[in-house]
A and B are shown apart, each in its own frame.
Chain A
Amino acid sequence: MKIPFTKKNIIEIKTEPAEKFGKDEGAFDIRIKGGELKKTVDKIFGRSLFVRLVDSGSCNACENELSLLASPYYDIERFGIKFVASPRHADILLITGCMTRNMFNPVWNVYNSMPDPKLVITAGDCQGENPYFGESYSIMGPAGKWLPVAMHIKGCPPEPGAIIHSLLELTKKL
C-alpha cells in the first residue's frame, strides 16, 4: 500500500485546540499546591530553597522532568525553589538514578561539599525498588544505604506535578 503524500488526502477531523488539551491536567492544582509550598518555603527557608541535583546513573527521563520544572507550565522558581549550580549553595541534595559504581565517589564529594544543615532526597524508581537494574554488577544500591535520605519521590519517572507535591509534603514536616 502506498500513500501519496499530498494535503488533499488528509481527512479533516474536528480538533481540540492544543492549549485546552495541554493544560487540563492539574494546572489549577499546581497553583494551589505551589502557593502552599511558597508559604512554607518563605517561613522555613527565608524565601529560598536551593536544590542541587546529582544524576547517579538514570536513564535521563528523570532529568528531563526536572528540567521541565523550570518551564512556564510549572515555573518552580516562583515558589522560591531553585536548582543551583554549586553544592555550596544548596540546602537539598536531590539524587536520581541507580547509584552506579563509577558515580559513587562523585555523589559523596557533592554531599561533603554541601554546608550544614542539609537534606538528601531521592527521586525515581531506580532509587526505590529498582526493579530493572538492581541486580547489575555496577550498581551500588539505593542512596539510602549510604546517606541519610529524608524522602523518596516515587515514579518512573516522577512527573513534575508529583515532584512539587512531594516537596510540599517535605517542607510541611520540617
Chain B
Amino acid sequence: MTASNSVDFQGEPIGRENLLETVAGVKHEGVYLLGIFAIDNGDGSFEIKYFFGPEKNSSTVKALSILASIDFPSISGIMPAAKIYEREIMDMFGLFPLNHPDLKPLMLFPENWDGTVHPLKKDWDKTIPEFKKYGEYPYKKAHGNGVFEIPVGPVHAGIIEPGHFRFSMRGEPVLQLEIRHFWKHRGIEKLCEGKTVSEALKIVSRISGDNSAGISLAYLEASEKILGIEIPIRAKFIRVILAEIERLWNHVRDIGYIFMDMGYTPKAQAMFVLEEDILRLNKFVASHRYMFDALQLGGVASASDIDINKTGAIRGVLKSAGEKLKKAEWYILNSPSVTDRIELAGKINKKTAEELSLCGICARASGLRRDSRIEMPYLLYGETVQVSQKTFEEGDILARTRIRIMEAFESINIIQNLLAWLPESGEDLIPKDCAEGVPVSSGWAIGNTETPRGNAFFYIKTGEDGNIERLKYIDPSFRNWPSIQYGILGGIIADFPLVNKSMNLSYAGNDL
C-alpha cells in the first residue's frame, strides 16, 4: 500500500523574519495552501503551523512553523488564501496578524462575545462572557451614485442553513459581495480537547452531516497513524465503498438542485427520487441514512459489513442511478435553455482559483488538477482504485455540473468494481488488538481525504494519556466560500443561487 500523506516537516520552527521569504519560495514551486493554525504550547508561546499541498509528482505535504507570543507576520500579501485562517487565529488565540488587509472578528461575534476572551487558549478559565452587545461588525461599504445594498440572511427563504450575504449593487450587476458566516459556530475544536480518540469520532462524524463518511475518514487517517493501527483489507474496501456511495448521493442531490434553481422541476424531482433511494440504501448498508457512526477506529462497524444481500441492493440502486444520470447529462448538454442559463455564469478563472487555493470541484472546474485521491492517495486509492483527473478550463456553472456528473459515473464504476473484488466475508472488520481496547499513544499526525466537496484536512495531537490535546479540522467549504465573492462579480443577483448551488458548500463544516 502507498504510504499515505507523509509530511515533509522542517522540524524546528523557523525564525519569523524568514517566514515571508520562505513562503514566497514555497509559492514559487507551485504548491497551494492547505491550512494555517496555531497551537498553544502552554508556556505563553504559540506555534503557528503552515501546511502546503504537495508538489507535482509527489505526495508529500510541506509544512512550516514559527513561534509567536503576541503577534505574527501575515502572509496574506503573498497568499491571499491565508486571510481567513489568520483571522481565525486572532479570534481563537488572540495573536495579532501584522499587516493583515481585512482584520475583523470571524467566528466569535462582537454582538454577543467579548473580544478579549479567546477560547482555544489553554489558560482560558472557561468562564463564558455575559450575553450582551460588545461592538458592531464592520461591513464593507460601497459608495457612489446609485449604489445600494441587498442584505440576505442569516435566515434564508427555504430550507437552507444560516449565513449572511451582503450584495452591493449598481443597477443589475453586483459590484461587491461580502459573505459573513459562522452563525453556526459550535466550538467543535475546543469540544474535542481532552476527549479520547474514539469519543471525538462521534463528534467529528457530525461536523457536516452530508459529508460524514468523508470527514470521518480524514479523522481516522490521522488518528490511526498516531495509534499505529493497521486496517484489515476488507475494512478498507468497505470504507472506500461507503465513501464513494456518499460522493454519489451528494453529486446526485447537487445536480438536482441545479435543475431546481434553473426552473427545470421534473428533472430535479427525478434526481431527488434517486437521492432518497440512495439514502434508503445507506440505511440498509450502513444502518444510518447519513452513515453516522458507520466507520470505527481500526475499521468499520459490524453493522456496516457488506454481505450478499447488501451487494445486490447496492448494484440495483447503482443501475438505476446510472440510467437516471445519463438522462440528466443528456438534458444538460443538449437542451439550449439549460446551457444558456448556466454557461459563462459564475465564472471563476484559473488565476483566482490558484490565488485562493481552492480545492475539490471548484478547483477542477477552473483548470486546477487537484484531487486528494490522486495527489495524496489514502486507503485503496492510487493503487487498487485508479481515479482519473477530470478538469475543465471554463470555471463556470456548466463546468462544475459536468464534473459532478463525470465523478458520479466514476463513483458508480468504482463501487461496482470493489464489490466484485470484495475480500472474503470471514475476515476481520476491526483488528483484534483494537477490538478489545483502543491503544493509547502520544504524537501528532495529519489526515487528508477527498470528500464530495474537496479535501478535508485534520491535524491531531495527543498527549501522554492518549487524549486529544489539539484537534484542527479544515473543511473544503472553508477554503472555497471566499471564491463565491469573486464568482458573482459583474453577474446578476439571480445568478447567485445557481453559483451557490453549483458549489454547494457546507455551512456547518465551515462554521465548525
Expressed in whole angstroms, the minimum distance between the Cβ of B110 and any Cβ of chain A is 11
Cβ B210 vs Cβ A9 within 8 A: no
Chain B hits for A174, CB < 8 A: none
Cβ-based interface call for A157 (8 A)? yes
B508 contacts which chain A residues (CB < 8 A)? 57-60
Q: Could you say which of B112, B128, B208 contacts A59, with CB atoms under 8 Å apart? A: B208
Is the pair A21, B313 in contact by a Cβ cutoff of 8 Å? yes
- Stretch with Cβ within 8 A of B (4 or more), from A39-47, A103-111, A165-173: A103-111
> Could you list which residues of chain A lie within 8 angstroms of chain B, going by C-beta atoms?
1-3, 5, 9-11, 13-19, 21-22, 25, 53-68, 70-73, 83, 85-87, 97-98, 100-106, 109-110, 132-133, 135-140, 156-157, 159
Q: Is B191 located at the chain interface by the 8 A CB criterion?
A: yes
Tell whether A2 pairs with B416 under 8 Å between CB atoms, given A18-B316, A59-B207, A110-B155: no
A157 to B210, CA, bound (A): 11
Do B320 and A18 touch across chains, with their CB atoms under 8 A apart? yes
B273 within 8 A of A: yes
Within 8 Å of chain A (Cβ to Cβ): is B494?
A: no
Q: A102: which of B112, B289, B420 is its contact (CB, 8 Å)?
A: B112
With A61-B290, A71-B269 as known contacts, state yes or no: A55 contacts B126, CB within 8 Å: no
Whether the pair A100, B506 counts as a contact (CB closer than 8 A) is no
Could you list 13 A-B pairs, sorted by A, with CB under 8 Å? A3-B417, A13-B308, A13-B312, A17-B316, A17-B320, A57-B183, A59-B508, A60-B208, A100-B185, A102-B182, A102-B184, A138-B108, A156-B292
Instruction: Report A-chain residues with C-beta under 8 Å of the C-beta of B336.
Output: none
Given contacts A103-B162, A136-B191, 19 further A-B contacts (CB under 8 A): A1-B384, A9-B420, A13-B308, A13-B312, A15-B312, A21-B280, A55-B160, A57-B185, A58-B209, A61-B206, A63-B159, A70-B272, A71-B276, A72-B273, A86-B157, A109-B155, A136-B188, A137-B128, A138-B186
Q: In the bound complex, how far is the Cα of B259 from the Cα of A37, in angstroms?
A: 30
Question: Does A136 contact B190, Cβ atoms closer than 8 Å?
Answer: yes
Known: A59-B208, A60-B210. A106 touches B188 (CB 8 A): no
Kindly list chain A residues whose C-beta atoms are within 8 Å of the C-beta of B319.
Answer: 15, 18
Q: A60-B209, A64-B209, A103-B162 are in contact. Are A137 and B272 (CB under 8 A)?
A: no
Min Cβ gap A160→B in Å is 8
Are B131 and A71 within 8 A (Cβ)? no
Residue of B nearest to A57 (CB): B184
The answer to whether the Cβ of B317 comes within 8 Å of any Cβ in the partner chain is yes
Cα distance A2–B113 in the bound complex, in angstroms:
54
CB distance from A114 to the nearest CB of B (A): 12
Across the interface, name the chain B residue whose C-beta is closest to A65: B289
**CB <8 Å contact, A133 and B416:** no
List the A residue with the shortest CB-CB distance to B289: A159
Of chain B, the residue at the smallest CB distance from A52 is B155
List, in ascending order, chain A residues with CB within 8 A of B108's CB.
138
In the complex, what residues of A have CB within 8 A of residue B22's CB? none
A71-B184 contact, Cβ under 8 Å, with A60-B209, A103-B162: no
Q: Are A61 and B209 in contact (CB under 8 A)?
A: yes
Q: How many residues of B contact A (CB 8 A)?
A: 73
Give the chain A neighbours of B390 by CB distance below 8 A: none
Q: Say yes or no for B277: interface residue by CB 8 A criterion.
A: yes
Inter-chain contact B311/A13, CB cutoff 8 Å:
yes
B507 located at the interface, meaning its Cβ lies under 8 Å from any Cβ of chain A in the complex: yes
Alpha-carbon separation in the docked complex, A83 to B158 (Å): 7
- CB of A102 within 8 A of CB of B384, answer no
Picked from B113, B290, B317, B506, the residue with its CB within 8 Å of the CB of A18 is B317
Within the complex, the shortest CB–CB distance from B494 to chain A, in Å, comes to: 16
Partner of B186, one of A54, A70, A86, A136: A136
Chain B residues numbered 91-132 whose CB sits less than 8 Å from any CB in chain A: 108-109, 111-113, 119, 126, 128, 131
Q: Determine the distance from Cα of A38 to Cα of B207 in the docked complex, in whole angstroms.
A: 36
Rounded to whole angstroms, the CA-CA distance of A73 and B274 in the bound complex is 10
A19 contact from B191, B320, B417, Cβ within 8 A: B320
Across the interface, which residues of B come within 8 angstroms of A58, CB to CB? 161, 184, 209, 508
- Are the CB atoms of B111 and A105 closer together than 8 Å? yes
Q: Are A100 and B280 in contact (CB under 8 A)?
A: no
Residues of A within 8 A of B290 (CB): 61, 64, 157
Residues of A within 8 A of B276 (CB): 22, 68, 71, 73
CB distance from B111 to the nearest CB of A (A): 7
Chain A nearest CB: distance from B314 CB in Å?
Answer: 9
Complex contact B384–A21 (CB within 8 A): no
Instruction: State whether A16 touches B187 (Cβ < 8 A).
Output: no
- List B contacts of A103 (CB < 8 A): 154, 162, 183-184
Once the chains bind, are B209 and A133 in contact (CB under 8 Å)? no
0 or 1 for each of B206-219: is its CB under 8 Å from A? (1 = yes): 11111010000000
- Bound-state Cα–Cα, A109 to B283, Å: 37
| CA A13 to CA B318, docked complex, whole Å | 13
Please report the C-alpha to C-alpha distance between residue A59 and residue B186 in the assembled complex, in whole angstroms: 10
Query: Which residues in B have their C-beta under 8 angstroms from that of A71?
Result: 269, 272-273, 275-276
Known: A18-B316, A55-B162. A5 touches B420 (CB 8 A): no
Bound form: Cα–Cα A133–B508 in Å: 13
Q: Is the CB of A2 within 8 A of B383?
A: yes
Question: Do residues B155 and A137 form an inter-chain contact, with CB atoms below 8 A?
Answer: no
B202 within 8 A of A: yes
Query: How far is the CB of B233 from the nearest CB of chain A, in Å?
Result: 8
B281 interfacial by beta-carbon distance below 8 Å: yes
Cross-chain contact B186 with A66 (CB below 8 angstroms): no
Q: Are A106 and B154 in contact (CB under 8 A)?
A: yes
Let me know if A102 and B159 touch, CB within 8 A.
no
Indicate the member of A25, A105, A109 with the most B CB atoms within 10 Å. Answer: A105
- Least CB distance, A156 to chain B, in whole angstroms: 7
- Nearest chain B CB to A23's CB is how many angstroms away? 9
Select the residue from A57, A62, A157 with max chain B CB neighbours within 10 A.
A57
**B203 close to chain A: CB less than 8 A:** yes
Contact: B162 with A104, CB < 8 Å? no
